[in-house]
Structures are given as C-alpha cells and as structure tokens.
Amino acid sequence: MNPMNYIYLSCILFSLGAAGVLLRRNAIVVFMCIELMLNAANLAFVTFSRMNGTLDGQIVAFFTMVVAACEVVVGLAIIVTIYRSRRSASVDDARLLRL
Amino acid sequence: MSLGTSDTLVYLIAIPLFSSAFLLLGGRALDRVGHLIGTAASASSFVVALIELNKMLAREAESRGVTQHLFTWINVGSFQVDATLLLDQLSICFVLLITGVGTLIHIYSISYMAHDIDRRRFFAFLNLFIAAMLLLVLGNSYLNLYVGWEGVGLASYLLIGFWNQKPTYATAAKKAFVANRVGDVGLSLAVMIAFVQFGSVTFDGVAKGIAAGSASSTALNAMGAAILLAAVGKSAQFPLQAWLGDAMAGPTPVSALIHAATMVTAGVYLISRSNFVFDNAPTAQLLVVIVGAVTLLFGAVIGMAKDDIKKALAASTMSQIGYMILATGLGPAGYAFAMMHLLTHGFFKAGMFLGAGSVMHGMNDEVDMRKYGALRKVMPITFATFGLGYLAIIGIPPFAGFYSKDKIIETAFNAGGSKGIILGCVTLLGAAITAFYMTRVMLMTFFGTKRWDAAAHPHESPWLMTVPMILLAIGSITTGFIFSNGDRLKNFLAPVVDKDHHEHETELLAPIVVTGLAMFAVAIGISIAFAKYGRKTIPASAPTDVTMWTKVARRDLLQDDFNESVFMRPGQSLTRVLAFLDKRVVDGAVSGVGAMTLRLAGDLRKTQTGYVRSYALLILLGTVAILTAILVVTL
Amino acid sequence: MNSLTILGLLPLVGSAALFLLPKGSDLLAKQVALGVSIVVAIAGLGMAFSFDRSATGFQFVEKHQWIPAFGINYALGVDGISLLLILLALVLTPIVILACWHEAEGGRWSVKNFFGLILILETMIVGVFAATDIFLFYVFFEAMLIPVYFLIGGYGTGARAAAAVKFLLYSLFGGLLMLASIIGLYVISGNQLSAPTFDINALSQLSIDPVTQRILFLGFFIAFAIKAPLWPFHTWLPDAARAATPGTSVLLLGVLDKVGTYGMIRFCLSLFPEASKEFGPTIIVLSLISIFYGAFLAIAQGTSSGDGNIKALISYTSISHFGFITLGIFAFTEQSHSGATLYMINHGFSTAALFLIAGWMISRRKSERISDFGGLQRVTPIMAWSFFIAGMSSLALPGLSSFVSEFLVLVGTFARYPIPAIIGTIGIIFAALYILIPVQRALHGPTTPGNENLTDLTLREKVSIAPVIAVIIFFGFYPQPLLDVINPAASATLSALQITGITGGK
C-alpha cells in the first residue's frame, strides 16, 4: 500500500482533532481531541520512518507517547480540580487567566 | 636664601593639636582641668616659638629660614606635595603673634568662660584654632597652607557658633563659613595655576619658576587675582566682608583672637608670602590696592554708625586690615609696613576686644554702647588698657599704631603719580574716620552719663582677665617703636619679601609732612566726635530721625541686602525651580515611560479574552500564516 | 581554588547558613553574619598586603572554563582600583551589620533573611569588581540587583515597593543596553581574533571602527551612568535612598554605585579609547551639571523648597560627588584619574558615616524630616559631632579624606580643561551650603520639642562608627598608602588611552 495514504489519514485525524479543540466546550472532549492530534502526529512519524527506512521517527513516536501520558496525568488532574471547584467541565467557564 | 633644617618645628603645631584632640575625646572627665591643659598647650607652643626665634636670630640674615620635612602627603605623577614646614622671618612673626596673643587670650578665657558648661570644649576649639593657624603660616606650599586655611575657617565656624543654640548665632557661623569658602575657591584656583604653570605648589618652587620666566603675565595675573580672592574671603575685605560683623556672635575672646588679631589677617600673610607673584603681576597688584582702599573706607564708614561695641570694633578691624592689604598692594615697599601694622594691630585690637569683653562681663553681656556710659570709674583697669589701645589705633605718637599707620600713609603717597595722591588721600581720610569712630566708642562707653540697665552692676574684672589686657596694652605702647626703630622689622623681613633690595622710591612728600597731615586728620576726627558725643547727652536708644546715609551705614552699607537680593533669593528660587523640574521633568520622563507602558499594556490586555478555544484558534491561524509565509518565500 | 574565589564564597556560605537557621534565632543570625563578615574583611585585608604595588596588570588571577562553546570563562583578577573597591565593600559590610543591628526588625520578612541578603550582596560585589571576563561581570552586575531589590522592598520604609521596582527596572534597562554592547563586542572579537572571547584583556586589543565604537560605548556608558548615577539618569537614587534602610543605603550608595564609575574606567576607557575621547567633553558637561544639580537639590531638601527628608538630602549630595568622580575620569590626567578612584573610596566612607548616623537619628526621633530634629548637639553630643565630622568630610574639608581626592580631581582637570575645573571648584561653595544647612537645622538651635529625651549613641553604635571616622581622618592626613596602590592602575588606564599625559610645569 502506498505509504502516502497514511499521511493523508494522519492529516485528516489532525484536522479532526484541531476542529474538536476549537469547537467543543467540554474539557474532556477537548482533551481527547488533543490526544487525537498527538496520535495523528505519531502516525505521521511512524510513516515517515517507514518511508525513509530509518528508526528516528519511531523513536520520536515513543517520546510522544510518553509526553502524551504525562499530559494526561497533569491535564486530567487539572480538569478534575476545576470540575470540583466550579461544578463544570466547560472550558469557557475557566477563564480566570483573563485579568 | 639657603634653608637649614630643624626637627622641632612640628611641636609648634603638634602640641595644641593633640591637646585639642585630647580635650575633645576626654569627655566630661576633663571638665575640671580642660582650661588648664588648653592654656598650657598654647603656652608651650609659645615657648617653642621663642626658642626658634632665638635660634633664628643666631643665624645669618640670609639663611635664617629652616624647614622640616614630615612625610609625603600626596604624590600622584608629577603632582607631589610633601607635608613640610617652613619657618622663616615672615612666619616667625606670625608664630609669635599667634602663640603669644593666643596664650594671653587663653588665660583671659579661663575667667571669661568660667561659668560656661562647655568651657573644656571651648578650650579644645581654641587649641584647634592655634594648631590650624600655625599650620597656615608654617606650611611650605600653597596646599599645606590651604589645610591650615580651611582649618582656621572650621575653628572660626565652631567658635562663632559656640553658643549655637541661639539660631542667629548658628546662622552667623554658617555665613562666615560660606563666605570663607568663596575665598577658598580662589586659593584652590591659585594652587591649580601654580601646579600647571610651574609643576610645583611650594612657595620656593613657584618663586623659582617665576624667576625663570616660565609663566605668562596673564597666568601670573590670574594667579594673583585668585590669591586676592582667597585673601578677600578670609580677611573680610570688600566684597566678601559681610560675615565679619555677624561673626561677633562668638564669645569675645574668640573675636579678639580670631576675628581681630590673627585669622582675619591671614589674607595679608598670604599676599605677603606671594610677593613673588604680585611683584610680577601688576594688574593683580592694582586690584589688591583697590580692594584695600575700598575696604578701608567701607569698614570705617560702618564703624561710625554702629552702637554695638563689638560690631564697631569689627568694622574697625575690617578697615585696619584694609590698610594692611593696601600696603601689600604697594609692592616691596609695603610688605614690611603691612606686617608691622598687622603686628601692632594684633596687640591693640586684641586688647580692645578683651576690654570690650571685660565691659560686657561687668554689664550682663550688654553690647549696646548706648546702655553704657561713665564706666571709667568703676572699671579703671579696663578703661586704662582700652584707652591705650584707643590711642594706638588712632595713631597718636608714640603709641604702636602711629608708627605702622604713618608708614603706610607715607608709602601710599609715594606710590607715584595720581595713584599715589589718591591712595594717600584715602588713607588720610581713613585715619580721620578712624579717629572719629574710635573716639565715639571711647566717649559712649567710658565717659558721659550712666545709661545702664537697672539690673547692671558694673565691676572690674578679675585678675585673670585684667593681666592679659595689661600685657596687651604694654604691647600697644611699645611695639611700634621697637619695630620701626632703625627699620628693624623691615630689615628683618627683607630677605623674604624684598629680595632684590629695592631702593627707596622718590618721595612725594617729606615724611614729616605726611605725619603732620595725618595728625591733622586725626585731630579733625577727634574734634567732630567730641562735638557730637562729648558735649551732648547720648540718647539711650538710637535716634530714628537721621539722614538716609546714617540709616544705610547702620545697615552695614546694605551689604546684606545686596547679598540677599543678588545671591540668596535668586539662589533659593533656582533651587525651588530645580526641585520642581527634577520631580516633573527629569523624573517625570522616567515615570512617564512607566505610565505609558502601563497604558499600552492595559489596551493590549483586552485582546486576552480568557477563552481557551479562541487562543487555540489564534495558534492555528498563526501556524498557518507562518507556513504560508515559508511556502511563499521558498517558492 | 584561588584567594578571590574563596573571598567571594565565604559570605555566600555564611548566608546559606543563615537561611538554614530556625525561625526566631535572630540574635544568633546577627552574630553569625557579623562573624562571617569580620572574617571576610580580615581575609581581604590580609590579601591586600600580599598585593604587589609596583606591578601593573591584574593580580590574584584565576581562570576556569565556564561555557566553552561561547568562550566564556570564570576569570577573576584585581588591579589597584578593583582591589580597593573590594576592600571598601569588605570593610563596610561588618560595620553596616553592626550598625544596623535592629534595622531589620520592622521588615516584611525575617531578620535572618535581611542579614543573609547582605552577605549575598557582599559576594556579588566581590564578583563584580573581580571579574575580568565581561560576561561574568555582566552576570554579577545584574545578580547584584536581586538582593538589593529585596533589601529595599522587604525592609524599607514608606513607598518601598515602588522604590524597589523603580530601582530594579532602571538598572535592568541599563544592563540590557550593556548586554547588547557586550554581544556586539563578542561578535567583533569573533571576526578579528581566532576565537570569539569575553576576556577583557583580549577585547581591549581589538580595533573597532569609529561608528561601531561609539554605539558600543554608549551601551556601556548609559548602564554605568544609571548606576553611578549621573544626571539625568539619577532619579531612582533619591527614591531608593528614601525607602531603603540606612544600612542598605550605605551599601547601595557607598559601594554598589561605585560599580558605575568603576565600569567607566575599566570598560568604557580601556575598550573604547577613541569613543571615550570623543564623548569626553560631553560627559564633562554632564558631570558639571551633576555637581551643581545634586548640590542645589540637596540644598532644596535642606531648606523649605523640598520636603526636608534627610535621607534624600544625603542621596542628592552623592549625585554631586559622583559628578566630581566622572569629571576626574573623563579629564584623562594622572591626577584626575587617581583622584577619581580615591574619591570612590572616600565617598564610600563619608557617605556611610552620614547615612548610619542619619539612620540613628531617624530611629530615635521616628521622623526623617530635618525640621523635626533640632538642638541635637545639646541632647546627644556624640551623635551630633559624629554627624558633623562626616558632614565636614562630605564637604571636603582639608585634613579629612575627601579633600585629597576632590582636589586631585580638580587639579588634574585643570591641567587639561581649565574652565570646567574652575566651574567645578565653585561647586565647593554649594557643598558648604548643603552640609551646613542640615547641620544648623538638625544639630544647632534650641532643642525642638520632642527631642529632649533622645538618647546618645550606645556602645555598639560607637564601636561601629569609630572606625569609619578614624579612616576618614587618617586618610585625610596620609592618603599615600591608597595612592600607591591606585597610581599604577590609573596610569596604566591612561597609557591604554594613548593620551599624552599632561603634567604641570613647562
């Protein structure tokens, strides 16, 4: 199969994720969309690795997974804390950073 | 003139200096003996000075000067100043005057200040003054002299403001210091010119440099003018004379020692010491003469209108120093006579000030002569000593002032041309006015009717005060004859101030004629004073229906009004304007930048909505924009 | 490790120990701080005795690679100028600690932190004067601000937060300009030398074209003019002095500001000789403005024109004094250079004395207004006379230390620029006014109501002020030991400028 198809898939997944981040309000969904974007990038890395015949892309993919896992830990913790204090998981309600 | 060395000069200064430090640091524990230590220190210096004089007289006239090198003070590149003392014929005169009269005044102060809680501190300051003044006359370079110069200024400040809990006294002290500082600028500049022109700031180095012709006449005139400025400040000459009258706020012994006998005459010393400069700087020399002549009349006119005995004497001091400065401006012929008048003046004026102090002591510190009168019976010794000083200052032969003042008048007439005639007439006029105002002081204080306050119980002062007065009175009688007999002082000083042995200039008038004229002027002055104050009763308060001229003279010829309106008020306005500008403009610019940043930030802040999704959108758009840009550039 | 590093590290170790102390152990903290600073001072003085006064160039040199990729070294070394400035800091620190024993008690944070910050500051000062690598200098130059920021903001009085921020931002602004110039130098050195470097000796060999030199010079100069401070970059100083505690002010004005004038000598002159000569006359004009401007504003504080704040008054007098220092630096004669360097030391001591005594007066009277004092000479004679002597030194009375330096500056300036020297000399009249006015209002006159029961100096205070006054008097009469150290360094700077030394005589 033409490896370029994976790249197209990766682009579609990334766009879906980006659209989700921009359009959805629920923090959990936004979060899942970010994961989607990360995985889209991972897919692209692995594909490039395959196309170039080197292992660099695959290694970076592992890094990305670790980063994603860390991000899940921190991000979910933040979301849960915000939910606890505000009884809402909507990102629009959490705009305390605005001065 | 070859110079020997001596190891003992330093003791002259060190003894009073350490005594002063000891008294100041010793604290209250020394209160009971402080005055004795102080007097002993001054007396020891006098003894050392006598020993030095003895040694000096044993040497040849051309090699009488001695130096003592102490240590290297400042040494930067070509600028080398050693702490070296120089004792020659000129300085020994001063050293003897300072320590001798100084010791007498110390003795007098033991009694005069007996009831002051700070008597120990007073003696410490007196010792400090003696040390600084000795350094002034013993320094071998302009910079060493400068240290003493400001040192006596400091001592004078401390002693004028000795009773500084009284605000006017504190102000008087400050005024004296600031006026002196203006003069100090002159001395600083003189040192700088000396260094740049001659590479040396010692008297010897400058004299040699001038002899070698290494300076232009412009530079020499500038240096002379700078030295004159210094002298004008320290010696209360026109136009920096205004501080001297206020300086009378200090205790009377201080007025006698510092503001009559020694410190204020430092200007005369400086000009005489710098004779090698002025002899080659005719313009500066002319300035010296003008300053002297103006001040001599200025002080005399003020003296006529003063009712405060100390201020009258201060005005007289100013006028007499005018005589000396005038004499120094007359070149080699005048230096010795300036010195002679300085020494005799030191005796009779110090004696008169001590007399005034004695009167004040008996009159509850009253200084207004209109509250005196008829004191000659209750204070006979004071009257006698003051009277001898009076006869000396107005120049009655054979008292001291006659010899010295007569010589100055004579030299003034001999200055040549119209200059000589003008100067001669000025000095004669000064002599007449001096006779007038001093007679006025005598009549108002010791003669006439009693105008005492009810609380006053005048009495003669204790012996500790009268003995110094008597000794000074003896000096007022004898010194003139001793110095002038066979031109003794003139010949003694000649190796220092008149190296080339100038011959006598042509005489405009025979000496006897000059003496006659002077006597005539004095007689006129005395008779007018008698007519005005001897015959009529003197009102106890100053009459107000007087001419404008009298009013102006009572206001010190508007010297303070002038300084206030020309320097003080504009200065104050300037500081106010600068303080305002500093806050609004200079600092305003800084705060303005800060305020502008804040406002800009406030405006930009509005773009921050706090919605995560709008941030994300912006990030996306930004990324797209950058990618597009890269694409456009690479394509 | 070398002696300079040890000297710098000692206070840092001491401050770490202070921060580790448990809460509430204030007295112990003070004792530790005092002990450490005294040990450091003695060590520093000991080091000074092994300093070779006849040699030129840096001594006690040490050099370690720090960031080799950029050619940055940890390089230290001192010449006569920096040695004396380090000693000034080392001597003043224990005096400040002892003098300001109770000063930190009104602060926002704990007492031990106050003394810890002072010790950190001491480390930074040693570093900034000893650094011979420009990058290292820059690091210390900026790091120095941090402890001062906390000292002012945390322990000061009045508008302390605002003053601390103003101080920090103003200094950072100058620091950034300097950083830009440093980077510029680095780039040029990369073009001209085999490898780019920050080493000051190597950089001074560069030949930089005039335009670039002017721009780089200004970057350095403005940073130093802010620090010094020179008119018109001075406005942070009165605010900082008003807000800071007296001890902080002593370190700030007495030592820290000297980094500005030190930097002008070390960097502006030796790195950019042509630009220095070109800008010299302009800077001399600025110096003269500073002399009079500072004096007039100090007088304004003393009279009714200002708000009569004694700390602000002292800070304005310093602006006037810094004018003399920069005048001496940019007059380019041996006398003016040695005088300017000596002036830095002397000003450190006389200002320290003024600030410390003013601080004691303020803490007793609970007021900073000059008009609230009055008649102190009767009530507290020792305090009053100490203030008087410090004031006399500030107005450069002969026989006290400042006179020698001020006179050297003026006489040196006169040799090259007579008119500015004459104008500068007139400044001494106003010096008399700005000292005598507060002396009269605070010490003389009748005792102001409320002052009758003020207590005189305690033994601790006497012990801390006595050495300062002793130094002021001693070096007034015998400045030669200091001049012997300064002269070789000063003439080395001048010979690098390749200006024919103007000397007296023909």
Q: Please check whether residues B464 and B550 belong to one and the same domain.
A: yes
Region B526-553 average pLDDT: 81
Contacts of B74 in chain C (CB under 8 A): 404, 408, 479-480, 483
| CA nearest to B620 within chain A | A18
Residue B602 lies in a domain: yes
Out of A22, A94, A96, the one facing B616 most closely (by C-beta) is A22
Nearest Cα of chain C lies from the Cα of B555 at a distance, in angstroms, of: 24
* Nearest C-alpha neighbor of B575 from the set C201, C251, C298: C298
B35 touches B75 (CB < 8 A):
no
Peptide bond before C147: cis, by omega within 30 degrees of 0? no
Note whether A98 contacts B610, CB cutoff 8 Å. Answer: yes
Region A30-56 average pLDDT: 92
Q: Which pLDDT value is given to residue C143?
A: 93
Residue B363 lies in a domain: yes
Residue B351 lies in a domain: yes
3-state SS assignment for residue B437 = helix
Please count the structural domains in chain B: 2
Better pLDDT: B423 or C25: B423
Q: Which pLDDT value is given to residue C463?
A: 92
Give the distance, in angstroms, between the CA of residue B576 and the centroid of all CA atoms in the same chain: 32
Report the percent of chain B where pLDDT is more than 90. Answer: 37
B298 touches B351 (CB < 8 A):
no
| Burial class, C9, CB count within 10 angstroms (exposed 0-12 / middle 13-18 / buried 19+) | middle
Residue A54 lies in a domain: yes
Entry field: residues in chain A: 99
Quickly state the pLDDT bin for B64 (edges 50, 70, 90). confident
Quickly state the pLDDT bin for B503 (edges 50, 70, 90). low
Residue A47 lies in a domain: yes
Region C296-304 average pLDDT: 85
| CA nearest to B76 within chain C | C335
The 10s digit of each residue's pLDDT in C203-223 is 888 888 889 999 999 999 999
User: Tokens 């740049």 — which residue?
Assistant: B196
Count of beta carbons in the 10 Å neighbourhood of residue B568: 11
Count of beta carbons in the 10 Å neighbourhood of residue B288: 29
* Nearest C-alpha neighbor of B180 from the set B148, B218, B204, B141: B148
| Burial class, B359, CB count within 10 angstroms (exposed 0-12 / middle 13-18 / buried 19+) | buried
Kindly report the CATH number assigned to the domain that includes residue A70. 1.10.287.3510
Which of B161-165, B395-399, B485-489, C346-350: highest mean pLDDT? C346-350
Q: Please check whether residues B540 and B616 belong to one and the same domain.
A: no
Task: Say whether pLDDT at C501 is over 60.
Answer: no
The 10s digit of each residue's pLDDT in C238-258 is 889 989 999 999 999 999 999
Note whether C334 contacts B77, CB cutoff 8 Å. Answer: yes
Better pLDDT: C434 or C453: C434
Where in the sequence is the domain holding A59, given as residue range(s)? 1-84
Average pLDDT, chain C: 89
Note whether B612 contacts A99, CB cutoff 8 Å. Answer: no
Helix ranges (H only) for B447-510 are 463-484, 488-497
**Phi-psi category of residue C500: left, alpha or beta, with phi > 0 → left and psi -120 to 50 → alpha:** beta
The 10s digit of each residue's pLDDT in A7-27 is 999 999 999 999 998 888 888
Task: Say whether pLDDT at B489 is over 90.
Answer: no
Quickly state the pLDDT bin for C410 (edges 50, 70, 90). very high
Residue B45 lies in a domain: no
> Which one of B605, B613, B621 would you mutate to disrupt binding with A, by most A Cβ within 10 Å of its Cβ?
B613
The 10s digit of each residue's pLDDT in B168-192 is 898 899 999 999 999 999 999 999 9
3-state SS assignment for residue B545 = coil
The 10s digit of each residue's pLDDT in B287-343 is 999 999 999 999 999 888 888 889 999 999 999 999 999 999 888 888 888 999 999
Q: Which pLDDT value is given to residue B504?
A: 58
Could you say which of B539, B554, B569 is where a domain stops? B554
Region C458-482 average pLDDT: 92
Out of B605, B611, B616, the one facing A21 most closely (by C-beta) is B616
Quickly state the pLDDT bin for B544 (edges 50, 70, 90). confident
Lowest mean pLDDT of B184-188, B464-468, B571-575, C28-32, name the range: B571-575
Q: How far apart are CA B322 and CA B345, in angstroms?
A: 12
Model-level pTM greater than 0.90? no
Q: How far apart are CA C93 and CA B392, in angstroms?
A: 62
User: Tokens 């000399």 — which residue?
Assistant: C425
The 10s digit of each residue's pLDDT in B390-419 is 999 988 888 888 888 888 888 888 887 788
DSSP result, C458-474: -HHHHHHHHHHHHHHHH
Task: Say whether pLDDT at C469 is over 90.
Answer: yes
Contacts of A95 in chain B (CB under 8 A): 609-612
Peptide bond before A3: cis, by omega within 30 degrees of 0? no
Q: How far apart are CA C187 and CA C208, in angstroms?
A: 11
The 10s digit of each residue's pLDDT in C36-63 is 999 999 999 998 888 888 877 888 889 9
Quickly state the pLDDT bin for A97 (edges 50, 70, 90). low
Contacts of B616 in chain A (CB under 8 A): 18, 21-22
Quickly state the pLDDT bin for B158 (edges 50, 70, 90). very high
Task: Say whether pLDDT at A74 is over 70.
Answer: yes
Q: Which pLDDT value is given to residue C505?
A: 40
Where in the sequence is the domain holding B622, given as residue range(s)? 559-634
Report the percent of chain C where pLDDT is more than 90. Answer: 55
Region C388-413 average pLDDT: 92
B234 touches B183 (CB < 8 A):
yes
- Residue B626, chain C, CB below 8 Å: the answer is no
3-state SS assignment for residue B188 = helix
DSSP result, B365-423: T--BGGG---TTTT-HHHHHHHHHHHHHHHT-TTSHHHHHHHHHHHHHHTT-HHHHHHH
Chains C and A share 3 or more Cβ pairs within 8 Å = no
Region C99-104 average pLDDT: 85
Q: Which pLDDT value is given to residue B506?
A: 66
Q: How far apart are CA B50 and CA B275, in angstroms?
A: 26
Residue B206 lies in a domain: no
Peptide bond before C94: cis, by omega within 30 degrees of 0? no
Please count the structural domains in chain A: 1
Nearest Cα of chain B lies from the Cα of A98 at a distance, in angstroms, of: 5
Note whether B620 contacts A18, CB cutoff 8 Å. Answer: yes
Q: Which pLDDT value is given to residue A98?
A: 65
Out of A22, A30, A97, the one facing B610 most closely (by C-beta) is A97
> Which one of B23, B76, B78 would you mutate to disrupt binding with C, by most C Cβ within 10 Å of its Cβ?
B76
What residues contact B172, with CB distance under 8 A and at least 6 apart?
B160, B161, B243, B246, B247, B248, B249, B250
* Nearest C-alpha neighbor of B291 from the set B239, B216, B345: B239
Average pLDDT, chain B: 88
Q: Which pLDDT value is given to residue B116?
A: 86
Task: Say whether pLDDT at B1 is over 60.
Answer: no
Q: How far apart are CA A7 and CA C273, in angstroms?
A: 62
Q: How far apart are CA B398 and CA B406, in angstroms?
A: 11
Quickly state the pLDDT bin for B368 (edges 50, 70, 90). confident
Q: Which two tokens stand for residue B198?
A: 């001659």
Task: Say whether pLDDT at B259 is over 90.
Answer: no
Residue B546 lies in a domain: yes
- Residue C299, chain B, CB below 8 Å: the answer is yes
Element (H, E) at C75: strand C72-78
Better pLDDT: B325 or B550: B325
Q: Please check whether residues B566 and B548 belong to one and the same domain.
A: no
Residue A99 lies in a domain: no
Q: Which pLDDT value is given to residue B138?
A: 93
Nearest Cα of chain B lies from the Cα of C401 at a distance, in angstroms, of: 12
Q: Please check whether residues B547 and B574 belong to one and the same domain.
A: no
Q: Please check whether residues B441 and B587 belong to one and the same domain.
A: no
Quickly state the pLDDT bin for C504 (edges 50, 70, 90). very low
B153 touches B161 (CB < 8 A):
no
